[in-house]
Amino acid sequence: MKGIFSALIVPFDESGNIIEGSLRKIVRHNIDVCEVDGLYVNGSSGENFLLSTDKKKKIFEIVKDEAKDDIQLIAQVGSLNLDEAIELGKYATELKYDCLSAVTPFYYKFDFEEIKDYYFSIIRETKNKMLIYSIPFLTGVNMSLDQFEELFVNEDIIGVKFTAADFFLLERMRKRFPEKLIFSGFDEMLLPAAIYEIDGAIGSTFNVNGKRAKEIFQLAQDGKIIEAKEIQHTTNDLIEKILELGLYQTIKEIFHVKGIDAGQCQKPMKNFNPEKRTDVEALVKHFNL
Average of pLDDT values for 83-108?
97
Q: Which residues are catalytic?
A: 133, 161
Whether 56 shows a pLDDT value over 90: the answer reads yes
Share of the chain above pLDDT 70, in %: 100
Q: How confident is the model at residue 139 (pLDDT cuts 50, 70, 90)?
A: confident
Helix (H, G, I), strand (E, B) or coil at 13: coil
Q: Are 163 and 135 within 8 A, CB to CB?
A: yes
**What is the rounded distance in angstroms from the CA atom of residue 138 to the CA atom of residue 266?**
18
Q: What is the mean pLDDT of residues 198-202?
A: 98
Does 16 have pLDDT greater than 90? Answer: yes
Task: Name residue 76's beta-bridge partners.
Answer: 101
Please tell me the pTM assigned to this model.
0.97
248-287 in b/e form (b: 16+ CB < 10 A) is bbbbbbbbbbeebebbbbbeeeeebeeeeeeebeebbeeb
pLDDT, tens digit, 9 for 90 and up, residues 256-265: 999 999 999 9
What type of residue sits at position 158? I
Domains and CATH numbers, the chain: 3-222 (3.20.20.70)
Per-residue DSSP letter, 38: E
State the pLDDT at residue 134.
94
What single string gives the DSSP state of each residue in 249-266?
Answer: HHHHHHHHHTT---BBPP
> Residue 138: pLDDT above 90?
no
**How far is Cα of residue 248 from the mean position of the Cα atoms in its chain?**
12
